[in-house]
Structure 1
């Protein structure tokens, strides 16, 4: 195999890491792909600027990330999986390159955490979590007005799934604490 990994830019490596995490489990939609990269880039200094996320129709969007995944598709490192939407996973060549890159365990652990979290949410749940955590990205949203009234239901679903804790669920819900506590109890959701 040629040493293609020597020519990869940081953003290309990050996309490979994200797609290849969790034993190459596919990222289940383009929205999830963009939001996973966004969340990962907020944790690792420098990536938020490299990927240049902007408020867009469905939350944070990076044209760079779309460009990178298209380049990786052309290089044969990434493939799409036939399903109800576009899902990405690494090709055999992509897995070889990922193994050659040998990313740090701590980095892959964090990326895997985000991938598992993102893949276990519906697109709407993910968008509500992103919009309530990063309200500056509601600016150009075409869905926020429709989904913001569902915040309390989505917060309890995410709490029940164990994706977020009570404090984060309270923030997502937009309710005051006493009101949200009653709402959670009415749904028979245990609070850890």
Structure 2
């Protein structure tokens, strides 16, 4: 189906536009798989109320999960607006960029900046580091997790890695590790 400014409202839901916006941010850097994509959308939905209404996140096997986001992503792939690569990364296509250009008024500049910031926050982390960040920051979504115990076993190591990547402050890294700042500093210097 050809997308024009006349039928974009019919073809692309606000959630689909959100996904395209996410994938276009930061020089069109792809989302690195389902965990990354879902957690990026989760962070966005926690910041932007209207996105939260569309996503409907709930506890799942790997923390917060939105069936609506997954379905919208699959729809975008079927329309050729997003490409799913063999390594399970998701990348916006040229037609996706063009479709997004037809509908640019969904988010304020502050909201677009937040989307870019959340993408940047997550993009340099491993799946385990992402899960640690989400599990500690939002423990209410861990009740169905199949990886919670494994993530907690490596939380200090992963917190140090997150801190060294410059993603979080010293205070947040110590919080993620579950230890005080002084102990965290001693461990991360070792």
TM-score with structure 2 setting the length: 0.90
- Among 5, 8, 23, the alignment partner of 1:5 is 8
2:171 aligned with 1:171, yes or no?
Answer: no
- Deviations for 1:3-25, whole angstroms, at most 9, x for unmatched residues? 34232222111111112211221
Which segments of 5 or more consecutive residues in structure 2 lack a partner in the other structure? none
Task: Return the alpha-carbon distance in structure 2 between the equivalents of residues 81 and 117 of structure 1.
Answer: 22
- The 5 Å alignment of 1:150-161 reads 150-161=154-165
1:101 to 103, 106, 109: 103
1:105-184 maps to which residues of 2 (within 5 A)?
Answer: 105-184=109-188
Give the alignment of 1:80-99 within 5 angstroms: 80-83=84-87, 86-99=88-101
* Residue pairs, 1:11-50, within 5 angstroms: 11-50=15-54
- CA shift at 1:93, angstroms? 1.1
Give the TM-score taking structure 1 as reference length. Answer: 0.89
CA offset digits 1:97-146 (Å, max 9, x no partner): 11222254332222111112211000000000000000111111111111
Deviation at 1:149, TM superposition (A): 1.7
RMSD between aligned residues: 1.5
Greater share of strand: 1
* Deviation (angstroms), 1:2: 2.3
Indicate if the aligned counterparts of 2:171 and 2:181 stay in contact, CA closer than 8 A: no
Matched residue SS, 2:91 = strand
What SS class does the counterpart of residue 61 from structure 1 fall into?
A: coil
Residue deviations 1:124-181 (CA, integer Å, cap 9, x gap): 0000000000011111111111120211111111111100001111110011333223
